[in-house]
Chains A and B, each alone.
Chain A
Amino acid sequence: MTEFTQMGVADIRDGVAAGDFTAREVAESFNAQVAAAAELGAFIVTTPDKALDAADAVDAARARGEALGKMAGVPIGMKDLFATKGVQTTAASHILEGFIPPYESTVSANLWAAGAGMLGKLNMDQFAMGSSNETSHFGSVKSPWRKDGSNAALTPGGSSGGSSAAVAARLCPAATGTDTGGSIRQPAAITGITGIKPTYGRCSRWGVVAFASSLDQAGPMARSVKDCAIMLEAMAGFDPKDATSLDMEVPEWEAHLSADLSGKTIGIPREYRMDGTPQDILDSWERGKEWLKDAGAKIVDITLPHTKYALPAYYIIAPAEASSNLARYDGVRYGLRDLPEGAGLQDMYAATRAAGFGDEVKRRILIGTYVLSAGFYDAYYNQAQKIRTLVARDFEQAWSQCDLILAPTTPNSAFALDEMQGDPLAMYLNDVFAVPASLAGLPAMSVPGGLNSDGLPLGLQLIGKPFDEQGVLDAGLAIEQRSGFDAQPDKWWA
C-alpha cells in the first residue's frame, strides 16, 4: 500500500490525476494520521468530513473527465486565522471561541476551488502574536522534533506553529500560514520544512483575522519548494475585496522552476552577522553560500545598514495596528461577552476584553495604544514609520548589487516550551532576521539548511525583490537539491 502521508502536494495531485489512487484514499489516510496525533495539539478542530467531501468531489470530477484544479485531491491544514464558512474560526483566542463565520476567506475559497480539502483548523499563537505557539488559548503545540537524547517538549515556532508541526509530522502534506513578522518562516525553519511569504498584496487578506494589516501576508508551508510553488499559485490572485490586493496575473511559478542560478548574484548582508549568533547558524549560512555558488550564482557582500532598527520599529508598528484592529472585539457583534451584574456598556467592553484576550495580546494592545496616544505619536509611531522607510530603502539600494539575499531564518534552533515565558523581549528577538523583509513587503522563504549537533533543523532564508517569488523559489530549489535534507522526526506521539 502506498504510504500517502509521506507524499507531498505534487505527488498526490499527479497520482490522483493519473488514477494511481483516489483522492478519497488519500484523505482517509491523512484523517487517520490527524486523529492519532492529538498529543501534538496541532489542530484546534478537525474536519474529516470536509476532507472526504472534497476528495469525493475530485474523484467524481475525474470520473466525468473534467479538468482538475492545481491542488486536486490534496488535503491540507488551514491556519485558524482564515475564516471558514460553517467551521469555528478563533485565531486561537477565547474572545472568538465559538465564532462560526457565515463566509469563506478568499485564500481558503481559492484553495477549495483548486480541489484541495480541509483536514481541520490549525492551532497558532493567539491572534498570530507570538513566536513559540505558547500564547494559544487552546494550549501550546508541541514540535514533533526533539533534541537527540532528550524527551523535553520543544516549540514548533510561531505564530504558524500548528501548521509547521502538522506538516513536519506528516499530518498533512501542506498547510496555510500567515506571516506578519516571520510567522511562516520562523516555524518552517525550526521544524525542517519550507515556507514562503509572498510579496505584500499577492494573497488577499479578505477573511483573514487582522493583526497588523500593513504587514499581514498569507503563504504556503510544505515540505518542498515545488509544493510551495503549486500551493502559492492556488492561493494568490487579485481580489477587489482587499484594497491592498495586487492587480497582477499570478505567474506560473511551478512551470518555471529552475535551479540553474547562472547569471544571478546573491547578496550576503553583513549586518545579519550579529554578536552572539551561534556557530551552528553561521556554519549553515556558509553551507548555503557554497550551494548557491555551486548552482552558478555569484556571491557578494552587501550592507543593509538599518537592520538593527527593524525589530524595534516592528514592535511599534505591529502593536499600533493591532490595537486598532482588535478594537472590534467588544462583546457586541460576535464572540465573547462578559457582562458583570449591573454593568454599563463601557464596563462590558472592559470586562469582555479582559476575559477574552491572553496576556501577550493585552501587552501588544497596550503598547499600541501607548505609542498612538496623544503626545507620543510622533516620538514612537511616526519615527518607526520613518525607520520603516529606511529599512525598505536599504533593500532597494542592495538590489543594485544583487538579485537575491541569503541569510539565516532564525538566530537559534527550536527552544523548549516554557524556556522564554516571562521574558517577552527575548521571545521577540527570535524574529530579528525575518522582520526586515516584512517591513519592506518583500517575498521571503525559508528552506531547510540541515540539522545542528543536537539533531534539530535550521533554516536558510532567501529574500527577493518585490514580485520576484520566482527568483526566491528558484534559489530555494537550488539549496534543496544540494542540501539533501530528508531528516524526519521520530514518531513518538502515536
Chain B
Amino acid sequence: MSVDKQTVAKIASLARIHMDDAELERMAPELSQILDWVEQLGEVDTSDVEPMTAVIPNTLRLRADEVNADAKTAGDRREDVLANAPAAEHGFFGVPKVIE
C-alpha cells in the first residue's frame, strides 16, 4: 500500500480538510489503489521529453493600460463582491480572530 493512514492525515491537513479516523481508514486503501495504478507511468522513458505547458500554442496578451477597462471585471463593486460572503462586516470579509 503506497499511502498509510498517517500519510493521508498529513495530506488532508495540507489540503485543509478535516478527517476523522474512520474517514482516514477508508481513504487510505482507496488512495493507495489509485496511486499504485498511476505508478505505471514510471515505465515510460521520458528523459528527452519536455513537460507539456500548453496544448494549443498561445501567447499571453497584455491588456490596455487602462483602469477598469472591462466593466465586468472592474472595481467599485464592493457590494457585489461581498454579496455571497458568509459573514460580511463593515464592508469586509469577516473571519475568526487570528491575533491573540
- Which residues of A are interface residues toward B (Cβ below 8 A)? 98-100, 102-103, 199-201, 214, 240-241, 243-244, 246-247, 306, 308-309, 312-313, 315-316, 323, 327, 330-337, 339, 343-351, 353-354, 357, 362-363, 365-367, 369-370, 373, 379-380, 382-390, 392, 424-425, 428, 439-441, 466
Q: How far is the CB of A107 from chain B (nearest CB, A)?
A: 14
Residues of B within 8 A of A388 (CB): 51-52
**Judging by beta carbons under 8 Å apart, are A439 and B55 in contact?**
yes
Known A-B contacts A387-B46, A389-B49; the reply to A366 vs B95 at CB < 8 A is no
Known A-B contacts A200-B55, A354-B19, A389-B49; the reply to A367 vs B41 at CB < 8 A is no
Give A382's nearest chain B residue, CB to CB: B51
Give B57's nearest chain A residue, CB to CB: A466
Residues of B within 8 A of A383 (CB): 41-42, 44, 46
Can you report 7 A-B residue pairs in the complex whose CB atoms are below 8 A from each other?
A: A99-B84, A102-B80, A313-B41, A354-B18, A387-B41, A387-B44, A439-B55
Residues of A within 8 A of B38 (CB): 312-313, 315-316, 380, 384
Map CB proximity to A onto B1-44 as digits: 1 under 8 Å, 0 otherwise.
00100011001111111110000000100110111011011101
Q: How far is the CB of B76 from chain A (nearest CB, A)?
A: 13
**Judging by beta carbons under 8 Å apart, are B52 and A392 in contact?**
yes
Instruction: Give 17 new A-B contacts, CB below 8 A, not counting A243-B61, A363-B34, A441-B56.
Output: A102-B83, A103-B72, A240-B61, A240-B70, A244-B58, A332-B85, A332-B93, A343-B96, A353-B17, A357-B17, A366-B11, A369-B15, A379-B42, A380-B38, A382-B51, A386-B51, A424-B34
Residues of B contacting A: mostly: loop
**Judging by beta carbons under 8 Å apart, are B35 and A367 in contact?**
yes
Residues of A within 8 A of B18 (CB): 347, 350-351, 353-354
Does B63 touch A at the CB level, under 8 Å? yes
- What is the CA–CA distance of A449 and B72 in the complex, to the nearest angstrom? 43
**Judging by beta carbons under 8 Å apart, are B46 and A386 in contact?**
yes
Q: How far is the CB of B49 from chain A (nearest CB, A)?
A: 4
- What is the CA–CA distance of A247 and B74 in the complex, to the nearest angstrom? 22
**Judging by beta carbons under 8 Å apart, are B17 and A354 in contact?**
yes
Give A315's nearest chain B residue, CB to CB: B38
Residues of A within 8 A of B35 (CB): 367, 370
**Judging by beta carbons under 8 Å apart, are B8 and A366 in contact?**
yes
Give A422's nearest chain B residue, CB to CB: B30
Map CB proximity to A onto B53-88 as digits: 1 under 8 Å, 0 otherwise.
111101011010000001011000100110111110
Q: How far is the CB of B4 from chain A (nearest CB, A)?
A: 12
Of A103, A349, A367, most buried by chain B (CB within 10 Å of CB) is A367
Q: How far is the CB of B74 from chain A (nearest CB, A)?
A: 11
**Judging by beta carbons under 8 Å apart, are A333 and B34 in contact?**
no
Residues of B within 8 A of A323 (CB): 15
**Judging by beta carbons under 8 Å apart, are A385 and B51 in contact?**
yes
- What is the CA–CA distance of A332 and B85 in the complex, to the nearest angstrom? 6
**Judging by beta carbons under 8 Å apart, are B55 and A441 in contact?**
yes
Give B36's nearest chain A residue, CB to CB: A425
**Judging by beta carbons under 8 Å apart, are B96 and A389 in contact?**
no
Residues of B within 8 A of A99 (CB): 84
Within 8 Å by CB of B12, from A306, A335, A347, A366, lies A366
Give A103's nearest chain B residue, CB to CB: B72
Q: How far is the CB of B15 from chain A (nearest CB, A)?
A: 4
**Judging by beta carbons under 8 Å apart, are A373 and B46 in contact?**
no
Q: How far is the CB of A87 from chain B (nearest CB, A)?
A: 13
**Judging by beta carbons under 8 Å apart, are A344 and B61 in contact?**
no
Give B26's nearest chain A residue, CB to CB: A359
Within 8 Å by CB of B15, from A214, A243, A365, lies A365
**Judging by beta carbons under 8 Å apart, are B95 and A345 in contact?**
yes
**Judging by beta carbons under 8 Å apart, are B63 and A332 in contact?**
no
**Judging by beta carbons under 8 Å apart, are A339 and B96 in contact?**
yes
Q: How far is the CB of B93 from chain A (nearest CB, A)?
A: 5
Query: 6 smallest A-B Cβ distances: which pairs?
Result: A441-B55, A385-B51, A337-B86, A334-B84, A386-B46, A102-B80
Residues of A within 8 A of B52 (CB): 385-386, 388-389, 392, 439
Residues of B within 8 A of A333 (CB): 81, 84-85, 93
**Judging by beta carbons under 8 Å apart, are A389 and B50 in contact?**
yes
- What is the CA–CA distance of A376 and B97 in the complex, to the nearest angstrom? 35
Give A438's nearest chain B residue, CB to CB: B55
Residues of B within 8 A of A386 (CB): 44, 46, 49-52
Of B7, B14, B16, B98, most buried by chain A (CB within 10 Å of CB) is B16
Residues of B within 8 A of A350 (CB): 13, 16-18
